[in-house]
Amino acid sequence: MTRESQPGPSRASSAAPRATIFEVGAPESACVLAPALDVPDVDVESALPGLARSAPPRLPHVAEVEIMRHYGHLADMNFGVDSGPYPLGSCTMKYNPRINEDAARLDGFAGLHPYQPLETVQGALELMVGLQEALGEVAGLPAVTLQPAAGAHGELTALMCFKAAHTAAGDPRTKVVIPDTAHGTNPATVSMCGYETVTVPSDERGLVDMRALREVLDTDVAALMLTNPNTLGLFETDILAITEAVHAIGAYAYCDGANLNAIMGVTRPGDQGFDALHINVHKTFSTPHGGGGPGGGPVCVTEDLARYLPGPLPTRLDDGSFALHTPDASIGRVRSYLGNFGVLVRAYAYVRALGAQGLLEVSEQAVLSANYLRVLLRGVFDIPYDRTCMHEFVMSSATLKREHGVRTLDVAKRLLDYGFHPPTVYFPLIVDEALMLEPTETESLESLDSLGAALRSIAEEAGSDPDLVRGAPYTTPVRRLDEARAAREPVVRWSPQGE
């Protein structure tokens, strides 16, 4: 068996790189059918001298069947949640129910213009108010803005509210405390807000080290940012003592809600003592994401902080109609219009389809899936914090590296040959050779078993034929890329040769 015929998904192996649509086809197979003119036909050259093009536009010369094959082929080269399991830790890549898409595409939503008079968009405002209420209930924090366009944007919005509140109290502070397991967007947000980051270590349990936390809490601290459950997939069991200690020095407690998928309907960040939370609705509330497309990072805060929220906010009036309202001490707009509306429609459809009981079951099932997989992989990979986890857990390839020279990146690349998207790698930073797996609630028992079997098989290959793993992937359209260059200098535009 050659390396190239090693196990792998048939769909990926059939997807060899192919030309852009401009490079396929031939002039005689042109399929250019311009739509009928819906404006008067004018002679552009005489109406606008010098502006008419000198040569016909360069359009692809492909027959309809080639167009279909071309786009079908591009879809084959992609890997998404609809292609197979996608256990990308911290990203909640779960199945996105199609009913959300149907709702977002309804003419009355998709065809709205942001400058329409309010009396013509009452249904859209009602939907946003309904979503604000639902998210506020899940969070245990009643005041909600839907404006932020992503989780990181939500973090920034919340910290700006904290800053405004401290400033209004005549007590501007300088520091924000973050645990060493935090996502990179947390310290980035702190800098953008003009604060200094103070890092607090985790203890041997993988939780915030309470003693170290108490040492850094002083009256210069504006806030603590904490992800709960944290990025090791562990619930911060000292959470009540943590938020109490933060409040005792007059600071605010911020919950990075990227991991809400583990606790929704079970426990509420507001009840844990948090003052603000962002929700990645594109994760927990099932909008397709991963390619940098539109997301949503609604922020939920306490009654006390409500007056700082960005405006305008959709509001329900006493007569049952809907209007926009800007809080008296608002930090101002953080995004144009009212947020990524299509994403909000999807989130609302998801909430309404599942109901309170359904959302609770999502979390229970997500936690069950992660624990099942963790136990399945016990003894195959190192699991540094091997105890009941929440919706994700972190393994390590440290032993494979030491004994066979096979690293986490190699394992991740080899997993592609088995038809799975790799887990998150090298995060959180405190775990050597980390692999962070979040299977989500939408994977079946069979799919969890096959993911576990693939990882077991790769660990065995690392012992019997380490070069095989180090050389992976073999079945994907492209092999190993210069990832730094691909991220920093992406080539996103095709030009004909010589131009």
Ligand X SMILES: Cc1ncc(COP(=O)(O)O)c(C=O)c1O
339 phi/psi in degrees, rounded to 5: 120, 180
Pick the closer one to ligand X by CB: 183 or 404.
Answer: 183
Q: How many positions of this chain bind ligand X (CB under 6 A)?
A: 14
Binders of ligand X among 95-114, rule CB under 6 A? none
Q: Where are the beta strands (DSSP E) in 292-445?
A: 299-301, 313-316, 322-325, 393-396, 424-425, 434-437
Pick the closer one to ligand X by CB: 183 or 421.
Answer: 183
Q: Which stretch binds ligand X (CB under 6 A): 49-57, 114-122, 149-157, 310-318?
A: 149-157
How near is the Cβ of 68 to ligand X at its closest, in Å? Answer: 33
Pick the closer one to ligand X by CB: 12 or 178.
Answer: 178
Pick the closer one to ligand X by CB: 150 or 362.
Answer: 150
Decide if 297 contacts 150 (C-beta within 8 A). yes
Structure tokens at 416: 């592609």
Instruction: Please say whether the dihedral angle defined by the alpha carbons of residues 149, 151, 153 and 159, taken in this order, is positive or negative.
Output: positive
How near is the Cβ of 280 to ligand X at its closest, in Å? Answer: 5
Residues 6+ apart with CB under 8 A from 67: 21, 31, 60
Q: Which stretch binds ligand X (CB under 6 A): 148-156, 330-338, 401-409, 486-494?
A: 148-156
Q: Which stretch binds ligand X (CB under 6 A): 75-83, 150-158, 431-439, 485-493?
A: 150-158
Element (H, E) at 314: strand 313-316
Q: Which residues of 40-55 are buried (b: 16+ CB within 10 A; e: fewer)?
A: eeeeeeeeeeeeeeee
Pick the closer one to ligand X by CB: 91 or 370.
Answer: 91
Pick the closer one to ligand X by CB: 297 or 452.
Answer: 297
How near is the Cβ of 3 to ligand X at its closest, in Å? Answer: 33
- Integer-rounded Cα Rg, in Å, for the chain is 26
Per-residue binding string, ligand X, 219-258, x by CB under 6 A, is: --------x---x------------------------x-x
Instruction: Please say whether the dihedral angle defined by the alpha carbons of residues 60, 65, 68 and 70, taken in this order, is positive or negative.
Output: negative
Element (H, E) at 300: strand 299-301
Q: CA–CA separation, 343 vs 461, rounded Å?
A: 42
How near is the Cβ of 149 to ligand X at its closest, in Å? Answer: 8
Q: CA–CA separation, 48 vs 80, rounded Å?
A: 47
Decide if 186 contacts 154 (C-beta within 8 A). no
Binders of ligand X among 155-184, rule CB under 6 A? 183
Compute CA distances 389 → 45, 206, 378, 381, 385, whole Å.
70, 11, 13, 16, 9
Pick the closer one to ligand X by CB: 227 or 243.
Answer: 227
Pick the closer one to ligand X by CB: 150 or 411.
Answer: 150
Q: CA–CA separation, 62 vs 489, rounded Å?
A: 30
Q: Does 392 bind ligand X (CB under 6 A)?
A: no
Q: CA–CA separation, 342 vs 243, rounded Å?
A: 35
Q: Which stretch binds ligand X (CB under 6 A): 144-152, 245-253, 375-383, 407-415?
A: 144-152
Q: Does 150 bind ligand X (CB under 6 A)?
A: yes
Instruction: Report the residue from 187, 265, 297, 310 that binds ligand X according to the rule CB under 6 A.
Output: 297
Pick the closer one to ligand X by CB: 327 or 423.
Answer: 423
Compute CA distances 255 → 102, 163, 202, 284, whole Å.
32, 16, 17, 15
Instruction: Report the residue from 185, 272, 440, 442 that binds ligand X according to the rule CB under 6 A.
Output: 185
- End-to-end CA, the chain: 44
Instruction: Report the residue from 62, 79, 90, 233 that binds ligand X according to the rule CB under 6 A.
Output: 90
Pick the closer one to ligand X by CB: 124 or 226.
Answer: 226
How near is the Cβ of 440 to ligand X at its closest, in Å? Answer: 14
How near is the Cβ of 99 to ligand X at its closest, in Å? Answer: 23
Q: CA–CA separation, 325 vs 475, rounded Å?
A: 54
Binding-site ranges for ligand X (CB under 6 A): 90-91, 150-152, 183, 185, 227, 231, 256, 258, 280, 295, 297
